[in-house]
DNA sequence: CCTGGCACTCGGTGTTCCCGAGTGCCAAGT
DNA sequence: ACTTGGCACTCGGGAACACCGAGTGCCAGG
């Protein structure tokens, strides 16, 4: 019983603090939430909560502020994801309607998410490794030079210019194109190395050097470029959120692909929400911020992740709702295209 | 004579203010620069300069600060572009060495420029309209669906998925590809509309509907996507530069492609530096910032522009030197690839 | 175990005061 | 005709200070 009330107090503290951004005191709590007990009782509970590290007092005579641990408990046990309003759903639909190009999907998504949450949105491009080959194209650029274009089923296009060891004619290009496509079409990218291992041996001797070069470039593209591209939007919202302290650090983190990678982090289950709160984040500049992430993908495969970065004192239920909803919509669109 | 000294005073004011970020008074000027006259004389000159609108007094008993007009005069007549140090040149070379992919060139360039100037760098992708067609590729994706890939001589690749009115076989795809390439290869993008105007008539009747669809998509790509892609980097430097006032507006501007477009503005001569100071900028949120831009391109054609955005009180000679140098290097690389 | 009462703490705000950098002007000097 | 030193004046900003009130912890009574 007593514990239930303490949790209710914690929830109230989080909610009030999020909406007012000021330390919340016992009296204010008793007034604004009908907890059915007096301020004095609440004070006792608050003392206990502080003892356990869920809240914290900036100075002796101020109200309480949730700690990271407090937010964690709130997110895990005291709140539930808040679904979007109808207007918001419609906004998403119109924003993402009728887009086919992958670049455009990603660009619009990241802006949409930033606008919806009024925070910084981060979106990762659909992973190469988890998608499959739709087409390989070889475009002659010169005697000994071709452009290799790799198209995946997620609409992603990778291009590389390749210098060849031999000159090569149009007919041989066509032949190689046909062979490559025959071997690779529909093949999951992770299994490409296996599929092509013995390919050169099955070709005429004269084609081998060129084929080997091309294959090594393809594998390189798959492996070395495995680092995925990540974009963000909504940095202006950072300036609005008053926490100007550390703003510089946050902006720096956002421009470091490596940090973003770690932030998006390991993949959980598809459409499972991940929340990183304050000091749980993998980068010191991001103390003071929380990150809400979700995976998205076409069908049941998770292809990449997206999320929202904001001050620790964000409205978690709403933010989580928005992230989840956007992830689902994007998944639908990718599946549909 | 007298005018010369006033200009010297203005130059000294700008230099001191840029380095200290504090209003500069007559005494400090007399001390730090050997102008050979007394503070009282300088005061007279300052009064004159203020009269003419080159400097301004924040309050009655403070030093002077240059106005936009003052900076303008400084840039136009009192300063000269400062060449980079050897170390900086080497940094540029190593940073941009051995890169072929256009995306990577642009990404690295924008980061390099941000790092070099410790400000926000802005780089525009090489223009579609001013480059020429290197290859058109049609990739069948399904019965009535193809991906159209347009490769330009600057290494840029545009891709669009196209739904066709008729089903189309591989042989007809190959034929169309050949015809399109024959018509368009090497053709400047601006003259594409002329070249293809009568193309459908020269085809077999059965190919016409498909050809018309494809051509309309090509033209759309050229015209509607005429809006060029622009990227920026170094937003963290904004937070460091103390002018936190309006930071939000600046960040907003940076995320608006339209604003960036106007900022990069009309094309001047290649490798001619353009400087926009404070209120000269086309967007109200950018009062308080200055923008230094230069065109870059392969050979003698200007393909796009790049620049640096910083507080009005930036070190113009150094910034201009960095922008010019980077623009030239990028030009060389584009020409070489 | 809750509650009302009470003394205590202390951060933030408003007020006042003072200092000094910087100015404009003037009369004297070259 | 400029330049210069002197001088009175202005005013922003920092230091010192007092005050207020929200908030607390604790205790005794219900």
Q: Which of B239, B241, B257, B333 to mutate to test the interface with A (most CBs of A within 10 A)?
A: B239
Domain spanning A86-126+228-336 has what CATH number? 3.30.450.40
Q: Beta B120-124 vs B304-311: how paired, if at all?
A: antiparallel
Of A163 and B130, the one with more pLDDT: A163
φ, ψ of residue A123 in degrees (nearest 5)? -130, 135
Question: Does B89 reach chain A within 8 Å, measured CB to CB?
Answer: no
Which of the nucleotides in strand C have any atom less than 7 Å away from a protein CB atom?
A: 1-5, 8-11, 20-26
Separation CA B229–CA B231 (nearest Å): 7
CATH 3.30.390.60 occupies which residues in chain A? Answer: 132-224
Query: B173 at the A interface (CB within 8 A)?
Result: no
At a CB cut-off of 8 Å and minimum separation 6, what does B256 contact? none
CB atoms closer than 10 angstroms to residue B331: 22
Report how far residue A35's alpha carbon sits from residue B146's, in angstroms, rounded to the nearest whole number.
Answer: 63
Q: Measured between CB atoms, which of B147, B151, B236 is closest to A251?
A: B236
Is residue B70 helix, strand or coil?
helix
Does the pLDDT value for residue A27 go beyond 50? yes
Percentages of chain B per state (helix, strand, coil), in multiples of 5: 50, 20, 30
Q: Which residues contact A247 (CB under 8 A, 6 or more apart)?
A: A238, A239, B239
Tens digit of each residue's pLDDT (9 = 90 or more) over A110-138:
999 999 999 999 999 887 777 788 788 88
User: Using CA atoms, how far apart are residues B68 and B65, in angstroms rounded to an integer?
Assistant: 10
Residue A247 confidence (pLDDT): 86
B242, pLDDT greater than 70 = no
How much is the pLDDT for A1? 41
B188 vs B304: CA distance, rounded Å: 16
Lowest-confidence segment of B5-19, B180-194, B312-326 by average pLDDT? B180-194
Residue B118 has phi, psi (to 5 degrees) of: 55, 35
* Largest CA-CA distance found in chain B, in angstroms, rounded: 89
**Cβ atoms of B149 and B157 closer than 8 Å:** yes
A161 vs B: CB within 8 A: yes
* pLDDT at res. A243: 62
Q: What is the predicted pLDDT for the residue at B1?
A: 40
State whether the beta carbon of A2 lies below 7 angstroms from any atom of strand C: yes
The C-alpha atoms of residue A54 and residue A73 are separated, in whole angstroms, by: 8
Closest CA to B207 of B292, B260, B268, B138: B138
A247 and B CB contact within 8 Å? yes
Nearest to A235 among B157, B235, B337 (CB): B235
Query: Hey, CA dihedral for A100, B205, B152, A179, is it positive or negative?
Result: positive
A100 shares contact with chain B (CB less than 8 Å): yes
- From chain B, the residues in CB contact with A142 under 8 A are none
Question: How large is the angle between the packed helices A86-96 and A316-336, nearest 10 degrees?
Answer: 40
| Residue B227 pLDDT > 60 | no
Cα separation, A86 vs A109, whole angstroms = 18
Query: For chain A, where do the domains classified as CATH 1.10.10.10 start and end?
Result: 4-77
CA of A42 to C1' of D15 (A): 40
Residue B44 CA distance to nucleotide D4 C1' (Å): 11
Please give the Cα distance from B232 to B209 (Å, whole number).
Answer: 42
Of B141, B233, B244, the CB nearest to A255: B233
Q: What is the pLDDT of residue B269?
A: 66
Distance spanning both ends of chain B, measured CA to CA: 53
d(CA B202, CA A148): 31
Within 8 A of B337 by CB-CB distance, chain A residues are 161
- Contact call for residues B221 and B213 (beta carbons, < 8 A): no
Q: Tell me: the pLDDT tens digits for A291-321? A: 999 999 877 777 789 999 999 999 999 999 9
Q: What is the percentage of chain B residues whose pLDDT exceeds 90?
A: 46
Q: What is the dihedral of CA B48, B49, B50, B55, to 10 degrees?
A: -160
Task: Report percent pLDDT > 70 for chain B.
Answer: 94
Identify the residue among B255, B258, B309 best suited for mutation to test binding to A, counting A beta carbons within 10 A and taking the highest: B255
Give strand letter and number of the nucleotide nearest A36 (CA to C1'): C2
- In eight-state DSSP terms, residue B281 is S
- Nearest residue on chain B to A156, alpha-carbon basis: B159
| Cβ-contact A101, B160 below 8 angstroms | yes
Q: Please write down the HEC assignment for all residues of chain A.
A: CHHHHHHHHHHHHHHHHHHHCCCECHHHHHHHCCCCCCHHHHHHHHHHHHHCCCEECCCCCCCEEECHHHHHHHHHHHCCCCCCCHHHHHHHHHHHCCCCCHHHHHHHHHHHHHHHHCCEEEEECCCCCCCEEEEEEEEEEECCEEEEEEEECCCCEEEEEEECCCCCCHHHHHHHHHHHHHHHCCCEHHHHHHHHCCCHHHCCHHHHHHHHHHHHHHHHHHHHHHCCCEEEECHHHHHHCCCCCCHHHHHHHHHCHHHHHHHHCCCCCCCCEEEEEHHHCCCHHHCCEEEEEEEECCCCCCCEEEEEEEECCCCHHHHHHHHHHHHHHHHHHHHHC
B226/A66 Cα distance (integer angstroms): 50
Say what the pLDDT of residue A268 is. Answer: 62
How confident is the model over B101-139, as pLDDT tens digits? 788 889 999 999 999 999 999 999 887 767 788 788 888
Task: Provide, as residue numbers in chain A, all residues whose Cβ is less than 8 Å from the Cβ of B234.
Answer: 255
Give the confidence band of B244 by pLDDT, cuts at 50, 70, 90. low
Q: Is A13 on the interface with B (CB under 8 A)?
A: no
B24-75 tens-digit pLDDT: 999 989 988 888 888 999 999 999 999 999 999 998 888 999 999 999 999 9
Residue B188 backbone phi and psi in degrees, to 5: -60, 140
pLDDT value at residue A104: 85
For domain B132-224, the CATH class is: alpha beta
The C-alpha atoms of residue A136 and residue A302 are separated, in whole angstroms, by 23
Token pair of A272 as six digits: 């499972």
CA nearest neighbour of B334 among B189, B123, B182, B150: B123
pTM equals: 0.85
pLDDT score recorded for residue B224: 59
Contact B54, B70 (CB under 8 A): yes
> What was the pLDDT predicted at A237?
93
According to the model, what pLDDT value does residue A245 have?
62
Q: Contact at 8 Å (CB) between A79 and A314?
A: no
Q: Kindly tell me the sign of the dihedral angle through the C-alpha atoms of B123, B125, B129, B130.
A: positive
B221: nearest Cα among B133, B308, B320: B133
What is the CATH architecture of A4-77? Answer: Orthogonal Bundle (1.10)
Contact B224, B129 (CB under 8 A): no
Report the alpha-carbon angle B283-B288-B293, nearest 5. Answer: 65
Q: Give dist(CA B5, CA A133) in Å, integer.
A: 71
Split at pLDDT 50, 70, 90, the class of B271 is low
Pairwise CA distance, residues A18 & A15, whole Å: 5
Separation of first and last alpha carbons in chain A = 53
- From the CA of B61, how many Å to the C1' of D8? 14
- The mean pLDDT value of chain A amounts to 87
**Partner residues linked to A148 by β-bridges:** A138, A160
Q: Is A313 on the interface with B (CB under 8 A)?
A: no
Domain boundaries for CATH 3.30.450.40 within chain B: 86-126+228-336
Mean pLDDT on A5-20: 94
List the nucleotides on chain D closer than 7 A to a protein CB.
Answer: 2-6, 9-12, 21-27
Q: How confident is the model at residue B294 (pLDDT cuts 50, 70, 90)?
A: very high
Tell me if chain A has a CB within 8 Å of the CB of B258: no
Q: Which of B19, B32, B64 is nearest to B45 (CA)?
A: B64
Footprint of strand D on the protein (CB under 7 A): A 23-28, 39-40, 43, 46-47, 50, 57, 60-64; B 2, 5, 36-38, 40-41, 44, 59-62
Which conformational region is residue B98 in: left (phi greater than 0), alpha (psi within -120 to 50 degrees), or beta? left
Strand order in the sheet with B230-233: B230-233, B120-124, B304-311, B289-296, B273-277
């Amino acid at each position: 019983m007593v514990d239930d009330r303490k949790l209710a107090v914690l929830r109230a503290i989080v909610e009030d603090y999020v909406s007012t951004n000021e330390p919340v005191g016992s009296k204010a709590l008793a007034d604004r939430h009908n907890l059915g007990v007096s301020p004095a009782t609440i004070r006792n509970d608050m003392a206990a909560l502080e003892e356990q590290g869920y809240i914290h007092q900036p100075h002796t005579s101020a109200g309480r502020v949730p700690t990271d641990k407090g937010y964690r408990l709130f997110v895990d046990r005291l709140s539930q994801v808040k679904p979007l309003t109808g207007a918001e759903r419609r906004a998403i639909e119109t924003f993402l309607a009728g887009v086919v190009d992958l670049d455009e999907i990603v660009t619009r998504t990241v802006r949409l998410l930033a606008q919806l949450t009024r925070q910084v949105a981060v979106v990762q491009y659909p992973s190469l490794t988890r998608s499959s080959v739709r087409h390989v194209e070889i475009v002659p650029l010169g005697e000994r030079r071709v452009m290799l274009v790799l198209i995946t089923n997620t609409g992603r296009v990778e291009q590389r210019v390749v210098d060849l060891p031999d000159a090569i004619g149009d007919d041989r290009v066509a032949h190689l194109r046909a062979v490559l496509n025959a071997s690779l079409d529909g093949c999951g990218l992770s299994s490409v190395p296996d599929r092509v291992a013995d390919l050169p041996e099955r070709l005429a001797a004269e084609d081998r050097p060129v084929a080997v070069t091309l294959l090594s470039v393809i594998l390189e593209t798959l492996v070395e470029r495995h680092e995925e591209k990540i974009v963000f939007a909504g940095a202006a919202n950072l300036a609005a959120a008053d926490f100007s302290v550390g703003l510089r650090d946050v902006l720096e983190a956002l421009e470091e692909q490596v940090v973003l990678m770690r932030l998006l982090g390991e993949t959980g289950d598809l459409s499972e929400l991940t929340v990183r709160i304050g000091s749980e984040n993998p980068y010191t500049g991001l103390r003071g911020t929380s990150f809400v992430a979700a995976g998205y993908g076409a069908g049941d495969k998770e292809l990449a992740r997206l999320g929202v970065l904001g001050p620790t004192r964000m409205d978690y239920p709403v933010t989580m709702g928005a992230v989840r909803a956007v992830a689902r919509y994007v998944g639908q669109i990718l599946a549909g295209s």
